[in-house]
């Protein structure tokens, strides 16, 4: 489950996270390296800077999605050459990032700043906070009142991957989902046939599973499907027009591909005779479900919307 989630997160941020084209990412390696690329070989320089392509950095991505920078953190950071000072700077930077995201409504109380560090910086952090580097310690660096987790490298990598994945998920939740309009415009042509169907409320406290923005998407899915199912499959030879349905989740109710096909057909009606007309409208077997999924993925590829979705 976590691997599938990670794959989806990487795919979305690679395709849509940056303002100027795609930017392939890996979690956590490219994100940690993007925040700070360590240049230990340049000893004569007092400071060094991140080396990333313009408009392809992590904080540029945040600026693109959020519309404003994180207070106190510039997109291009100059960091001290001393390893301990650099670690403190990065730890503070990650603390500010997490505080900023929590202030926007992100659930990140389980993510600690040190889990966002690179392995070499995390090692220094554990040494400083367990007193192994007393000569390099400074009072402001000690995290009073907080436990110090000393993890072996393999465990740390697992924890770091999970931490960065959760950060990206919460960034999506607080900056991307709210772009969904909460104002659902009634469509008379579809509302008439929805009178007998239970409604989905978009008020904040109506669900402990989905946010109001996600429920707005569900409302949109219901209305689009009901409006277009009779159009897309009016000439279907594989089951006729599919029955009315109540779409209340993003997994079970989308498994047969029909709901997603109806949404795509609403914007790309030319795909109806070439693709969607061949779908089973009342699939009962695994083979028929697979058939519908193949058609759906081929339709996405035909319009160059290749999000690496597996059939």
Tens of pLDDT, residues 249-281: 998 999 999 999 999 999 999 999 999 999 999
Distance CA 175, CA 65 (A): 6
**Longest Cα separation, the chain:** 79
Contacts 24+ apart (CB under 8 A), 63-71: 64/17, 64/18, 64/19, 65/17, 65/171, 65/175, 65/176, 66/104, 66/175, 70/96, 70/97, 70/100, 71/96, 71/100
By the 8 A CB rule, do 81 and 48 touch? yes
Nearest CA among 100, 110, 150, 122 for reference residue 36: 122
Query: CA–CA distance from 28 to each of 9, 49, 109, 123, 225 (Å)?
Result: 12, 20, 19, 16, 38
**How high is the pLDDT of residue 205?**
63
Structure tokens at 147: 């436990």
For residue 43, pLDDT over 50 is answered with: no
For residue 219, pLDDT over 80 is answered with: yes
For residue 65, pLDDT over 80 is answered with: yes
For residue 50, pLDDT over 90 is answered with: no
**How high is the pLDDT of residue 48?**
41
**How high is the pLDDT of residue 225?**
93
**Residues ≥6 apart with Cβ < 8 Å to 187:** 223, 227
For a pLDDT cut of 90, what percent of the chain falls above it?
Answer: 49
Q: Helix 258-267 to helix 286-302 angle, to the nearest 10 degrees?
A: 20
Distance CA 38, CA 33 (A): 8
| Band of pLDDT at residue 195, cut at 50, 70 and 90 | low
Distance CA 209, CA 219 (A): 15
Q: E-strand spans in the chain? A: 47-49, 78-80
For residue 61, pLDDT over 70 is answered with: yes
Nearest CA among 248, 202, 251, 201 for reference residue 225: 248
Comparison of pLDDT for 190 and 58, the residue scoring more = 58
For 229-246, the pLDDT digits (tens) are 999 999 888 889 999 999
Which residue has 């989740």 as its token pair? 249
**How high is the pLDDT of residue 203?**
64
């Amino acid at each position: 489950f976590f691997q599938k989630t990670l794959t989806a997160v990487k795919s979305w941020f690679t395709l849509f996270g940056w303002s100027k084209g795609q930017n392939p990412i890996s979690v956590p390696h490219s994100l940690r390296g993007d925040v700070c690329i360590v240049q230990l070989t340049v000893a004569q320089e007092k400071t060094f800077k991140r080396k990333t392509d313009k408009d392809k950095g992590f904080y540029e991505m945040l600026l693109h999605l959020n519309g404003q920078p994180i207070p106190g953190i510039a997109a291009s950071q100059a960091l001290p050459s001393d390893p301990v000072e650099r670690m403190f700077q990065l730890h503070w930077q990650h603390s500010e990032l997490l505080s900023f995201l929590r202030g926007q409504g992100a659930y990140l109380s389980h993510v600690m700043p040190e889990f966002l560090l690179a392995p070499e910086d995390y090692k220094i952090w554990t040494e400083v906070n367990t007193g192994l580097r007393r000569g390099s310690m400074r009072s402001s660096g000690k995290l009073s009142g907080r436990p110090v987790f000393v993890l072996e490298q393999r465990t740390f990598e697992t924890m770091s991957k999970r931490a960065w994945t959760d950060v990206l998920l919460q960034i999506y939740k607080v900056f991307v989902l709210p772009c969904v309009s909460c104002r659902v415009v009634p469509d008379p042509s579809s509302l008439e046939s929805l009178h007998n169907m239970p409604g989905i409320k978009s008020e904040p406290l109506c669900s402990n599973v989905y946010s109001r923005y996600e429920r707005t998407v569900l409302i949109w899915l219901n209305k689009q499907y009901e409006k277009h199912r009779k159009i897309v499959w009016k000439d279907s030879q594989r089951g006729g027009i599919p029955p009315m349905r109540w779409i209340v989740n993003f997994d079970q109710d989308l498994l047969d591909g029909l709901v997603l096909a109806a949404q795509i057909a609403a914007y790309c009606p030319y795909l109806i005779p070439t693709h969607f007309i061949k779908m089973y409208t009342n699939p009962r077997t695994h083979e028929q479900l697979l058939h519908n999924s193949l058609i759906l993925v081929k339709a996405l590829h035909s319009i160059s919307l290749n999000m690496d979705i597996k059939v």
